[in-house]
A and B are shown apart, each in its own frame.
Chain A
């Protein structure tokens, strides 16, 4: 599928959208031990394109037995896979990388259909996922241990990194393709076997990913897919065959369900959770650069990402800077075209589901009730000719204070809350007052100010003149406080460490 394959599908007689890769309604199955199999659960949930409200798939709600079967297959495959050399394992990933490139466009369009994000964002997500596969192909060197000769006379000490067994991930709806690739490539590259459980809201790009895994020739049982909701997750957390769990989602689930249950069953856990990200603008900021970054951060992906801007803080009493910056933002945000992400001129897609929109609407009401001034109302944007069920335009609240709900809680939608701070100290204090510590950014042309910010702010991902501080695959996706539970993050060397055990050998040969 090429970029230039444009289907002359007219919507409302005026617009042209890219060809949809999913035709009809797909009945989703699990992929266990190299076979596509029915779930033990008979109940299903509809997967709906949030822009058109067309049903595109039915996904089983899942059953504990599905996970048990997947874990059994992964356990059986582990001894052979572990003995497959790291170089050979990397070559399977290289084959997968090639297939992902060949199917790049189709994957992007599937992400748009199941999630709603615009095609540029969806392609960006696919690229981010592929980068993790690329990173993991370096496992022959990434997995090397180290040694010291003659720690005592004639005695050497060696550290080797070994796989542990079966790992699993519980993936979120907001980056349906990318997030399982924060974990899985590193897990299998290091010699573990794997179970993926995608979000039941957005399972289709993962299904396509697993089809490509099958095509790449991974041995049966090395990578397994189980669809579903609560029951499969409970089994993943409790099954003694699973050594570790990776999770991305809300703090409530990540901390209270995933982290607590999985650790109580002796598993390793990395739970990347909610956020409330502050973007701080200092008086010496470059307005043009700042505005572009802010637009993308607050309204990109329709605000549904844990690195999205939430609170915009202006430092100092330069009302002119604030008016100018907000003026340009409002002008650009006001011109944002909402619609179906497969229509190329669309700049903002819908929220992923109706209940997510209702949640954001609740926060808009809360902001109004608590006295903030709504200077741009996302409820007034048009998404014609698409049904407005899941659509919500950008909203801007001014006069926000830290005690307001909209300034404290994660909204997960295109809502900007504008605050002011007297000086940098107060701004940093505001950032650090949040229970979350996922990301924060500063916009300044002063190196000292930037350094002070990155030094003092209690967040895992820091942006300096960057609105969305998304770490590349070769760095960990960091996070602290209520935004992360565990010790080692996804991506990068952290991922290699999470999926391996360090074994130390002290040896003396007579």
Chain B
């Protein structure tokens, strides 16, 4: 279970890294859409850095950073491997992964509401950005 803010930040970073890694593979696998998938991967890195920055600039000993009010189960937010045999199949996996990350960001925003000033807003912002990615992925197929 994710009990501390630090764990939430690390788990989010892991999701963004995993997502980016997957998109880099898709960029190699589908040269016609290379730029698109690389763009998504680059954005993953920016999202990760945005959350880390919000945490680093907001963390203080006065807030309740060590004890999250709701513990999240990291097992509920696992990414799928890209093992499809077509762009359609891999895009469907990408969509499911995006939904997983969105779900994590929503839950993290909720549970970090009492922890740090800017963290929930940052997760909410990422949800909006990621919903746009979902639309782009849908339009791909």
Contacts and interface: CB of A to CB of B under 8 A. Distances in A.
B62 A124 contact: yes
A378 B114 CA distance: 26
Contacts, number: 92
A336 B68 CA distance: 11
Given A4-B13, A344-B7, A120 B62 contact: no
Interface residues of A, number: 37
Contact of B60 (A2, A344, A345, A470): A470
A99 to B, nearest CB: 15
Most buried by B among A2, A6, A175, A300: A300
Contacts of B13: 3-4
A282 interface: no
B106 interface: no
Contacts of B4: 118-120, 344-347
A296 B6 contact: no
Given A3-B13, A6-B10, A347 B56 contact: no
A3 B9 contact: yes
Interface in B61-118: 61-67, 69, 114
A293 B9 CA distance: 21
Q: How large is the interface on B (under 10, 10 to 19, 20 to 34, 35 or more residues)?
A: 20 to 34
Contacts of B52: 2-3
Contacts of B64: 292-293, 295-296, 300, 467
B66 A300 contact: yes
A121 interface: yes
A292 B69 contact: yes
B67 A295 contact: yes
A316 B47 CA distance: 49
A301 interface: yes
Most buried by A among B3, B17, B48: B3
A121 B3 contact: no
Contacts of B65: 120-121, 124
Nearest to A301: B61
A332 interface: yes
B130 to A, nearest CB: 19
B5 interface: yes
Most buried by A among B1, B2, B5, B64: B64
Interface string B29-71: 0000000000000000000100010011111111111110100
Nearest to A125: B61
Given A3-B10, A344-B7, A347-B4, A118 B66 contact: yes
Nearest to B61: A124
A339 to B, nearest CB: 11
Contacts of B69: 288, 292
A468 B14 CA distance: 32
Nearest to B51: A3
Contacts of A3: 6, 9-10, 13, 52, 55
Contacts of B17: 4
Contact of A121 (B48, B61, B114): B61
A124 B10 contact: no
A233 B3 CA distance: 41
A336 B59 CA distance: 20
Contacts of B61: 121, 124-125, 128, 175, 300-301, 305, 468, 470
A119 B60 contact: no
Contacts of B58: 127
Nearest to A104: B56
A357 interface: no
Given A120-B59, A124-B61, A345 B7 contact: yes
A101 to B, nearest CB: 8
A296 B59 contact: no
Contacts of A301: 61
Interface of B: 1-7, 9-10, 13-14, 17, 48, 52, 55-67, 69, 114
24 contacts: A3-B6, A3-B52, A4-B17, A6-B10, A119-B6, A120-B4, A120-B5, A120-B6, A120-B59, A127-B57, A127-B59, A128-B61, A175-B61, A292-B64, A292-B67, A295-B64, A296-B67, A300-B64, A300-B67, A336-B67, A348-B66, A467-B64, A468-B61, A470-B61
Interface of A: 2-4, 6, 104, 118-121, 123-125, 127-128, 175, 288-289, 292-293, 295-296, 299-301, 305, 332, 336-337, 344-348, 466-468, 470
